[in-house]
Amino acid sequence: MKTKLFIILLMATLTISTYSQSITNTLGAGGSFIIKDGASTFFTLEQATGLLYLSNSLSLQLTSGATPLGVIYKGSDRFIHDYHAAGTDGFNIFVGINAGNFTMSGTGAEASYNTAVGYHSLSSITTGYNNSAFGPQSLSSNSSGNGNSAFGQSSLALNTEGLVNSAFGLSSLQANTSGHYNSAFGYASLTSNESGIYNSAVGSYSLMFSTGYYNTALGSKSGYNVTSGSNLTLIGYNALASAGDATNEITLGDGSITALRCNVQTLTSLSDARDKTNIHDLTLGIDFLMNLKPRQFNWDKREWYDNNTSDGSKMQKTPTAGFLAQELDTVQMSANAEWLNLVLKSNPNKLEATAGNLLPIIVKAIQDLKKENDELKEKNEVAQVVTENLKTATNALNERLTKFEKMQTQLVAEIEKLKANHNETTQVSLGTK
């Protein structure tokens, strides 16, 4: 009875106050303000909690025009709206303090199909479309860029006109302004990229400083040192390029990797003759190899020490074999053959060796040695024939000498007989055997 009386009095007050400038109604302690139709309750306001309850749907006007309607505010700041610029398709949704804005413009799909959730997300949008922003200040500078996806605080925060970028993670692609087709997954991934294109970074801090293009980094801190480098592939934790501006490299793992494993034992590379010209026989061979110095050594890397200076305390105990990059470089420079690329010098402070490029020279050296061996073998065979012929001639000569010696012996015997007989008419007969 008291509730009905309260409602009647309230309605009477509302009717009486129709022309007043303000309406004030005070609920008693524990009271409720209820609007209902028969048994159906539509609206409830509880004095004890101050909570307002709607028992049905809430219908707001489409947000459009110079003085937008249908906006839910948080204090004086826009909080939820679907601003629809005249002449555009619309279908936008903005949720968050000052998310989106009321100044979008364009025609057709422009300024349409955008979704933003988070403080100041997509707050600078003008004609951009098909953008999705989730997180405080995500895509907050984007004006005309389209097809971008940002998830995480400050992701793609400075993007203005970049197209089709994907950023997932706090500060990912944060500095991107006009770069296109970049993908960043992980905290601070590609965070410094401004205009680089076609970069892909997966892992926290991956390609963190990458202004280049066509780079791919997979793993935490992978490509961390890349600045303006391009066409780099870096796979594994802390996999770094040889230098910040390096190009056209593939890096697998960091300096701690001790084995490169695969089911096959060699790499396959392009070698089609139709893609090559100015083909001629290699001149470098055994003489070049004889100038090389295979070494045994223990690793003791400078980066293992805080001051980047080795004191031997972290030297690996197990030795290994290989070449010294400086010595390889000396040999190839002496032979005017730097084109062999036995040493990668993109980072002068950390030279790298490409010993595999010695394979053609090794093959040439083996071929040269085989040729020399065949020539010696042929000369040896000729010498053997000469020796055999000489041996046969010597044997024949020895036989004749033997016969002559026999004849001489018989002749001497007969002469001795003549001397003994003092007979000058004695017939001397010599045997022929």
How much is the mean pLDDT over the chain? 89
Neighbour tally for 25: CB within 10 Å: 12
| pLDDT tens-digit map of 251-308 | 999 988 988 889 998 888 899 999 999 999 999 999 999 999 999 999 999 989 998 8
- pLDDT value for 388: 87
Domain residue limits, the chain: 165-257
Task: Categorise residue 54: left if φ over 0, alpha if ψ from -120 to 50, beta otherwise.
Answer: beta
Question: Is the pLDDT reported for residue 328 higher than 70?
Answer: yes
Cα–Cα nearest to 62, from 12, 112, 110, 109: 112
Question: Is the pLDDT reported for residue 108 higher than 50?
Answer: yes
Residue environment code for 225-261, b if the CB has 16+ CB neighbours within 10 A, otherwise e: bbbebbebbbbbebbbbbbbebbebebebbeeeeeee
Q: How many residues does the chain have?
A: 433
Task: Categorise residue 269: left if φ over 0, alpha if ψ from -120 to 50, beta otherwise.
Answer: beta
pLDDT bin (cut points 50, 70, 90) of residue 410 is confident
